[in-house]
């Protein structure tokens, strides 16, 4: 399955889709004969318009609802029937596997269990994925029917090895958490988590040593009962899911970060926690201990939520650096403690997460709603488990932050569904998961919503690459600084943040800035830019450069656009915006052209670019690719001959020459760059310059063992021949005898290159070779006609006719066509020469073109 982005389906879009499906179900209940094809056509005609993404999600949901309805009516519809009747369903390609799987499950539930192989043959486009999923469907179904019995846990007051169980403080489907007394440590109070003896939670969590990951003191076993106990320090607090519920009870629309602490205090004071004087004093003091360092006590609720996410992201970054992935990040596994702040716990799925029994317990234990799409899919197809890593934890943390900010609980699959269908149902919902937290509270900053959106990208490659990157952006959000790995879409918010960061400077210079602002908006923008740090020292710019280097162009564009708005005079931002736009925009007068041209106009821009190049090896590559982009613009320019078209051509050529020339300065050995520069100079009709560049390349050419470059010298020589004949033709019109001699000499050089290439030109270059030979020999024939050299003219005609026939024949055999006006022009030139050469002695010309 492709991890496609949801395409911007927001909460309103989700509600519209859900509403459409509900209306169809009501209509179908009232009319058993309702036909979805007709209903859908009427809906498209008469109903409110839907976006492409909404239409795709809606149609897939309607088909699934209709499948269930018709099976309940005793019919046995197939998805392929809907594909034939409703062509628009093919727009929902990302959901097709889910629909086909739904059909299989319905057939199985209604006593018509089909043979997997023959069933999958009906859907060849999805056969491989479907076979894999149905195979695991069988395993999960068996696991659901063979759910291991829950262990018989000890009661409070009993002993578990050296631990006395004092109170039950938490419970899950397959575990219990007790406040205990460790008799081996003189009765020290600890937390003992007792669960079935499976998984590697003890080994995984015990190896981690981080202030915000709950440590494991020891592990004890009772093999006869199949139980294991993990002893951990006693840190009074509440799980975050409990805190979230209490926050919304205290304040439905919380505005202050303090609300989080107040909810924690309320829960502890009203609960069963056993507090000694130390903990009680810490509770009265507020969030002032080391574990709460940095908590924005006087900040907004959004800032408080971001701080909790920041702490968890740092803990995950620590684990990820040790190649440990939690795979069960959710509010219930984050403990807000009085003294130690947020604590990440329960690494039970970190190492053995894909067994069928784990899928069943994940559903029962509330883990499923917080899974990333690729993790859900890995339960359905274990071959994909290798893709479940750091980015899956990032997604789960994004869901947790979203729930913190909105108070909105996540979708939970229908408990009546078997595990495989529950997983598929939730995977479908992931495609349309809304990330617009500002829709719940417009006070949430745009920057924080952008962080949530990036965490919840459907494609793992589009999320934060690591917990470290996420933590860095959360920290910068709290400091009101520009993010490094993301971009704030709100310009006004960026301006306000800039003002807060620079309030002392602004206050100190308020009078002068006011005067300047009254005098000239341009001056105030220049003063503002002067207050910005140097471009090459900004971490946001370094991150944007990494994005461009790694091909993440849309992300780079968003970040660089913000930087340009903050500092319009910095040419480096514009240079890199040009690089990024050139990779995703192929239209004339592109943003690449605009940004690169503007960058060149900035004072000292070229020197700054060359200075930046000293530590950036990929800059030459970006310049070369940009030069090629501008060169491609000229070949696609269909307005040549008009004033505007010619101006656009000249502008693109100047930029191409500048980009290629700068790239050659940075990397003089790059033949690709020199070749591009030569081509650009040829387009500009600087034929002598182009000829010199190509000659330089041929002088240094070495035989290549790489098949992709084996024909490079031949291509360069053919291009040099073309350049030489164009130079000859440009000189031919001069009455100056010296120029006429030079013209003939250049034509002879062109023919000499072609003679060298005659036996080495590969098949795919033969049309080019014969086309060039036709042009060169006809040009020589025209020189000889002018000079009255009838004896050489006859040989020219014979050579030109043979080359022209081969050119036209090879071109047509390749499926290409030569424009009629071009063919007529060349045949007319040949006829003129043939008419003039009908009589006179003939001589054989040498390869140099002379007698």
DSSP of 82-134: HHHH-GGGGGGHHHHHHHHHHHHHHHHHTT----HHHHHHT-GGGHHHHHHHH
**Mean pLDDT for the chain overall:** 80
Tell me what percent of the residues of the chain surpass a pLDDT of 90.
Answer: 18
H or E element, residue 28 = helix 11-30
pLDDT bucket at 398, cuts 50 / 70 / 90: very high
Q: How far apart are CA 700 and CA 696, in angstroms?
A: 7
Angle at 454 between CA 448 and CA 455, to 5 degrees: 90
Q: State the angle between helix axes of 127-145 and 373-380 in degrees (0 to 180), rounded to the nearest 10.
A: 80
Helix (H/G/I), strand (E/B), else coil: 759: coil
189 φ, ψ to 5°? -75, 135
520-547, pLDDT tens digit by residue?
Answer: 444 444 444 444 567 777 888 888 888 8
Q: How confident is the model at residue 519 (pLDDT cuts 50, 70, 90)?
A: very low
pLDDT at 355: 46
Judged by average pLDDT, the poorest of 150-164, 172-186, 348-362, 545-559 is 348-362
Would you say 188 is a known binding-site residue?
no
Q: Which of 362, 334, 335, 338 is nearest to 348 (CA)?
A: 362
Query: Could you read off the pLDDT of 32-69 as tens digits, one per residue?
Result: 888 888 888 888 887 777 777 778 888 888 998 898 88
Name residues whose C-beta falls within 8 Å of residue 35's C-beta, 6 or more positions apart in sequence: none
- If residue 335 lies in a helix (H) or strand (E), which one and from where to where? strand 334-337
Highest mean pLDDT among 526-535, 582-591, 724-733, 768-777: 768-777
pLDDT at 523: 47
pLDDT at 148: 52
pLDDT of residue 267: 87
- Pick from 439, 428, 431: which is nearest to 7 by CA? 431
**Distance from the Cα of residue 538 to its chain's centroid:** 23
- Determine phi and psi for 37, rounding to 5 degrees: -55, -45
Say if CB 760 and CB 717 are below 8 A apart. Answer: no
Residue 840, pLDDT > 60, answer: no
Distance of CA 403 to CAs 201, 370, 420, 473, 585, Å? 26, 10, 26, 19, 38
The yes-or-no verdict on residue 444 having pLDDT over 80 is yes
Q: How many CB atoms lie within 10 A of CB 389?
A: 18
The pLDDT tens digits of the residues spanning 129-156 come to 777 667 656 655 554 444 456 678 899 9
Contacts 24+ apart (CB under 8 A), 343-347: 343/212, 343/213, 343/214, 343/235, 343/237, 344/212, 344/213, 344/214, 344/312, 344/315, 344/316, 345/205, 345/213, 345/214, 345/232, 346/201, 346/205, 347/201, 347/204, 347/205, 347/208
Does residue 306 carry a pLDDT above 90?
yes
> What confidence score (pLDDT) does residue 199 get?
61
The first and second tokens of residue 374, run together, are: 């690729």
323/383 Cα distance (integer angstroms): 19
pLDDT at 471 exceeding the cut of 80: yes
State which H helix or E strand residue 344 sits in: strand 341-344
pTM comes to 0.62
Could you tell me which residue, 382 or 28, shows the higher pLDDT?
A: 28
Q: What do you get for the CA distance between the two ends of the chain, in Å?
A: 70
Per mean pLDDT, which range of 192-201, 204-213, 234-243, 390-399 is the poorest?
192-201
Q: Please report which residue ranges of 667-711 form alpha helices under DSSP H.
A: 671-683, 687-700
What values do phi and psi take at 256, rounded to 5? Answer: -120, 145
pLDDT of residue 634 exceeding 70: no
Distance CA 801, CA 774 (A): 8
Nearest to 298 by CA among 260, 335, 244, 336: 260
Span 183-213, pLDDT tens digits = 988 889 998 988 876 666 666 776 788 999 9
Please count the other Cβ atoms lying within 10 Å of the Cβ belonging to residue 511.
8
The yes-or-no verdict on residue 769 having pLDDT over 60 is yes
């Amino acid at each position: 399955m492709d991890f496609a982005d949801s395409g911007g389906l927001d909460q309103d879009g989700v509600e519209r889709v859900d509403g459409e499906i509900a209306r169809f179900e009501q209509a179908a209940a009232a009319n058993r004969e309702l036909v979805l094809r007709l209903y859908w056509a009427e809906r498209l005609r008469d109903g409110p318009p839907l976006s492409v993404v909404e239409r795709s999600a809606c149609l897939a949901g309607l088909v699934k609802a209709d499948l269930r309805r018709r099976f309940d009516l005793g019919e046995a519809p197939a998805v392929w029937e809907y594909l034939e009747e409703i062509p628009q369903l093919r727009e929902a390609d990302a959901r097709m596997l889910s629909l086909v799987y739904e059909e299989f499950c319905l057939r199985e539930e209604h006593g018509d269990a089909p043979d997997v192989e023959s069933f999958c043959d009906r859907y060849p486009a999805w056969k491989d994925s479907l076979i894999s999923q149905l195979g695991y469907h069988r395993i999960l179904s068996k696991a659901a029917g063979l759910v291991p019995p829950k262990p018989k846990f000890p009661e409070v007051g009993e002993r578990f090895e050296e631990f006395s169980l004092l109170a039950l403080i938490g419970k899950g489907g397959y575990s219990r958490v007790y406040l205990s007394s460790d008799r081996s440590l003189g009765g020290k109070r600890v937390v003992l988590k007792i669960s079935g003896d499976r998984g590697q939670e003890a080994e995984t969590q015990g190896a981690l040593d981080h202030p915000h990951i709950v440590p494991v003191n020891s592990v004890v076993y009772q093999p006869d009962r199949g139980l294991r106990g993990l002893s951990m320090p006693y840190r009074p607090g509440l799980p975050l899911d409990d805190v979230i519920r209490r926050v919304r009870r205290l304040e439905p629309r919380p505005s202050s970060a303090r609300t989080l602490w107040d909810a924690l205090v309320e829960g502890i004071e009203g609960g069963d926690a056993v507090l000694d004087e130390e903990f009680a004093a810490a509770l009265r003091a507020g969030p002032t201990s080391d574990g709460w360092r940095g908590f924005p006590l006087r900040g907004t609720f959004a800032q408080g939520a971001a701080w909790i996410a920041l702490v968890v992201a740092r803990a995950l970054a620590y684990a990820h650096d040790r190649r440990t992935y939690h795979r069960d990040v959710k509010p219930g596994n984050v403990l807000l403690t009085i003294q130690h702040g947020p604590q990440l716990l329960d690494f039970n799925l970190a190492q053995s997460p894909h067994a069928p029994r784990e899928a069943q317990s994940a559903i029962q234990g509330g883990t499923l709603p917080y899974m990333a799409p690729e993790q859900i899919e890995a339960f359905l197809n274990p071959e994909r488990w290798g893709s479940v890593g750091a980015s899956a934890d990032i997604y789960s943390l994004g869901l947790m932050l979203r729930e913190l900010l909105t108070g909105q609980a996540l979708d939970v699959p229908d408990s009546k569904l078997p595990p495989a269908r529950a997983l598929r149902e939730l995977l479908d919902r992931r495609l349309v998961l809304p990330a617009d937290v500002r829709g719940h509270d417009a006070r949430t900053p745009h920057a924080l919503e952008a962080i949530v959106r990036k965490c919840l990208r459907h494609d793992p490659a589009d999320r934060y690459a690591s917990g470290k990157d996420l933590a860095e952006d959360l920290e910068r959000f709290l400091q009101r600084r520009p993010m490094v790995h993301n971009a704030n879409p709100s310009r006004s918010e960026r301006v306000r943040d800039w003002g807060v960061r620079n309030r002392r400077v602004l206050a100190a210079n308020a009078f002068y800035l006011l005067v300047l602002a009254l005098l000239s908006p341009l001056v105030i923008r220049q003063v503002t830019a002067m207050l910005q740090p140097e471009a090459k020292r900004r971490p946001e710019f370094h991150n944007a450069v990494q994005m461009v280097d790694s091909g993440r162009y849309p992300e780079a564009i968003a970040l660089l656009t913000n930087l340009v708005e903050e500092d319009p005079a910095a040419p480096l931002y514009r240079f890199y915006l040009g690089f990024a736009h050139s990779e995703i925009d192929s239209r004339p007068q592109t943003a690449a052209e605009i940004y690169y041209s503007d960058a060149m106009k900035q004072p000292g821009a070229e020197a700054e670019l060359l200075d930046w190049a000293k530590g950036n090896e990929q800059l030459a590559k970006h310049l070369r690719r940009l030069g090629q982009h501008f060169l491609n613009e000229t070949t696609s320019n269909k307005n040549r001959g008009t004033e505007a078209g010619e101006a656009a051509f000249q502008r693109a050529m100047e930029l191409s020459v500048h980009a290629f020339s700068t790239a050659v300065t940075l990397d003089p050995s790059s033949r690709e760059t020199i070749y591009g520069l030569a081509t650009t100079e040829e387009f500009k009709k600087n034929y002598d310059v182009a000829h010199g560049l190509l000659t330089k390349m041929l002088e240094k050419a070495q035989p290549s063992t790489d098949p992709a470059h084996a024909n490079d010298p031949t291509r360069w020589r053919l291009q040099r021949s073309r350049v030489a004949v164009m130079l000859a033709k440009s000189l031919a019109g001069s009455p100056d005898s010296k120029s006429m001699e030079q013209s003939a000499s250049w034509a002879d050089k062109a023919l000499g290159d072609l003679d060298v290439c005659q036996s080495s030109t590969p098949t795919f270059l033969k049309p080019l070779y014969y086309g060039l030979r036709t042009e060169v020999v006809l040009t020589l024939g025209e020189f000889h006609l002018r000079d009255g050299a009838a004896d050489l003219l006859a040989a020219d005609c014979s050579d030109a006719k043979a080359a022209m026939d081969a050119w036209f024949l090879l071109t047509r055999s390749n499926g290409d066509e030569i424009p009629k006006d071009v063919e007529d022009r060349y045949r007319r030139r040949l006829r003129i020469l043939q008419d003039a050469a009908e009589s006179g002695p003939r001589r054989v010309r040498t390869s140099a073109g002379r007698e």
